[in-house]
């Protein structure tokens, strides 16, 4: 297992980039705009982590900006909702999820696609698990397992 990134939701992408990049000195590594999902992801790294982030896609912070709705309204994040999740890449997502499940952990978003799953820590912190390399072929019981709770 290897640490990837921490996701933080932001209400004003420009103000956030000014803070993280101009004031804190972080470097933008990559950006993704999703027209369909109506969000922008910006991945940042500390200057000394830039090369590792470019090669390994880690360690980084992911700023998630959810675009305004049709009425121009944006969501305000309260009660810790601005913190999204921790992300780790694993060698075998099915075996890893099975180990967690055998240990009493609820798989909130099963790895139906052989690529991504979500669980929560005992304190409710959302943790994203990503398959290293290519997605694994769909496999039961994961492929037909429904989501449970929030992730």
Mean pLDDT of the chain: 92
Final residue of a structural domain among 29, 49, 66: 66
Q: Is residue 72 part of a domain?
A: no
pLDDT digits (tens, 9 = 90+) for 60-88: 999 999 999 989 888 887 767 778 888 98
Q: Is residue 129 part of a domain?
A: yes
CATH of the domain at 35: 3.10.180.10
User: 110 and 56, same structural domain?
Assistant: no
b or e along 101-137 (b: 16 or more beta carbons within 10 Å of the residue's beta carbon)?
Answer: beeeeebbbbbbebebbbbbeeeeebbbbbbeeeebe
Q: Is residue 71 part of a domain?
A: no
Average pLDDT over residues 39-47: 96
Measured between alpha carbons, how far is 40 from 63 in angstroms, rounded to an integer?
Answer: 8
The answer to whether 39 and 65 have CB atoms below 8 angstroms apart is: yes
Q: Is residue 113 part of a domain?
A: yes
Q: Per-residue pLDDT for 16 more than 90?
A: yes
Q: Looking at 35, 48, 51, 128, which residue is catalytic?
A: 128
Shortest CA distance to 60 belongs to which of 46, 47, 48?
46
Question: How many domains would you assign to the chain?
Answer: 2
Q: Report the predicted TM-score, pTM, of the whole model to 2 decimal places.
A: 0.74
Q: Is residue 110 part of a domain?
A: yes
Identify the domain containing residue 47 by its residue range.
2-66
Q: Is residue 77 part of a domain?
A: no
The answer to whether 4 and 60 have CB atoms below 8 angstroms apart is: yes
User: 14 and 57, same structural domain?
Assistant: yes
Active site residue 150: no
Average pLDDT over residues 92-98: 96
Q: Per-residue pLDDT for 46 more than 90?
A: yes
Average pLDDT over residues 45-69: 95
pLDDT digits (tens, 9 = 90+) for 108-142: 999 999 999 999 987 788 899 999 999 999 999 99
User: 104 and 61, same structural domain?
Assistant: no
Average pLDDT over residues 9-25: 91
Average pLDDT over residues 27-48: 96
User: 106 and 52, same structural domain?
Assistant: no
Q: What is the pLDDT of residue 138?
A: 95
Q: Helix/strand/coil (H, E, C) string of 3-46?
A: EEEEEEEECCHHHHHHHHHHHCCCEEEEEEEECCCCEEEEEEEC
H or E stretch at 89: strand 83-90
Q: Is residue 149 part of a domain?
A: no
Q: Is residue 114 part of a domain?
A: yes
User: 49 and 8, same structural domain?
Assistant: yes
Q: What is the pLDDT of residue 77?
A: 79
């Amino acid at each position: 297992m290897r640490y990837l990134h921490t996701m933080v939701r932001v209400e004003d992408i420009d103000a956030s980039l000014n803070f993280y990049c101009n004031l804190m000195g972080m470097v933008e590594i990559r950006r993704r705009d999703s027209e369909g999902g109506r969000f922008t992801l910006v991945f940042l790294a500390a200057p000394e982590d830039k090369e590792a982030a470019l090669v390994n896609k880690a360690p980084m912070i992911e700023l998630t900006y959810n675009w305004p709705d049709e009425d121009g309204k944006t969501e305000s994040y309260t009660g810790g909702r601005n913190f999204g999740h921790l992300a780790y890449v694993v060698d075998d997502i099915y075996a890893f999820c099975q180990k967690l499940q055998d240990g009493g952990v609820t798989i909130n978003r099963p790895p139906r696609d052989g690529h991504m799953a979500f669980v929560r820590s005992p304190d409710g912190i959302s943790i994203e698990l990503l398959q290293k390399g290519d997605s694994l072929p769909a496999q039961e019981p994961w492929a037909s397992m429904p989501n449970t709770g929030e992730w």
